[in-house]
Amino acid sequence: MRKWLLAVSIIVVFYLDNVLVTSLPLRGLRPDLTLAFVVSLGVLTGSVPAAAIGFGMGLAADIFFNKIVGLTALTYMLSGAAAGLFYRKYYADNLIIPAAACVVCSFIKEHVFMFAALLKGSRPPYFKTLISFIVPCLVLTGAFCILMHLYCKHALFKPLWRKEAIKLEEQV
């Protein structure tokens, strides 16, 4: 894995997700770029690195921007770990698996936040919020996860050259 590019990608995704996307007037809707990134990494690298990166990015976002510190870190960490369950179980070319995993993780994450908002005294109308916010956000996040997965797969991993493939095959 290209570690330097991974570090740059983490910074760029963090900036886009927490600074740029929040300044866009999308009527409260937002694609969760960090979640898409973490889930994609989970599918490509496994549970541990994805959970660690999700935890770090979530915690940084919580500290700098969010009201409840730790909630985002928890959801991203668990999402990374859950996405890692698909590691090496499907072809890396499969775009449906990360997108579907991302949609499920996003659905759970929004419900966790809704519960936290309920605890803080908000009374969000469930079905209205589900239709007007959660579902559009899931679609956006899933779509971005496909793009993010394509990026991660091609940019973060060195291509396996023919010579190396033959060598590996011989070893097997």
Partner 1 sequence: MKKTGSNKPVIIMIAAVVLLLVIAFFSAGSRTIPWVENAVGSVIRPIQTFAFKASNGISDFVRNLFNTTDEDLEISRLNQELAHYEQLKLDVEELKQENERLRRMLDYAGSLGDYSCTAGRVIGRSNGIWFDTLTINIGRSSGIEPGMPVICGDGLIGKVTDVGSGWSKVTAMIDSSVTVAATVERTRDNCMVRGMFSTSDTAGKLELYYLPTGLTDLVPGDIIMTSGIGGVYPKGIKIGTVTEVMLDSDQAGINAIVEPSVDFLHIEEVLVITGSGGEAQ
Binding site for partner 1 (CB under 8 A): 16-30, 61, 64-68, 91, 93-95, 110, 113-114, 116-117, 120-125, 128-129, 132-133, 136, 139-140, 143-144, 146-147, 150
Toward partner 1, which CB reaches closer, 47 or 74? 74
**What's the chain's length in residues?**
172
Q: Which residue's structure tokens are 């300044």?
A: 23
Amino acid, res. 170: E
**Backbone dihedral region for residue 32 (phi beyond 0: left; psi -120 to 50: alpha; all else: beta):** beta
Toward partner 1, which CB reaches closer, 84 or 142? 142
Q: How far is the CB of 95 from partner 1 (least distance, A)?
A: 6
Toward partner 1, which CB reaches closer, 104 or 114? 114
Q: How far is the CB of 30 from partner 1 (least distance, A)?
A: 6
Toward partner 1, which CB reaches closer, 104 or 150? 150
**Backbone dihedral region for residue 24 (phi beyond 0: left; psi -120 to 50: alpha; all else: beta):** beta
Q: How far is the CB of 132 from partner 1 (least distance, A)?
A: 5
The alpha-carbon radius of gyration of the chain (Å, integer) is 17
Q: How far is the CB of 43 from partner 1 (least distance, A)?
A: 15
**Among candidates 107, 81, 111, 100, which has minimal Cα distance to 145?**
100
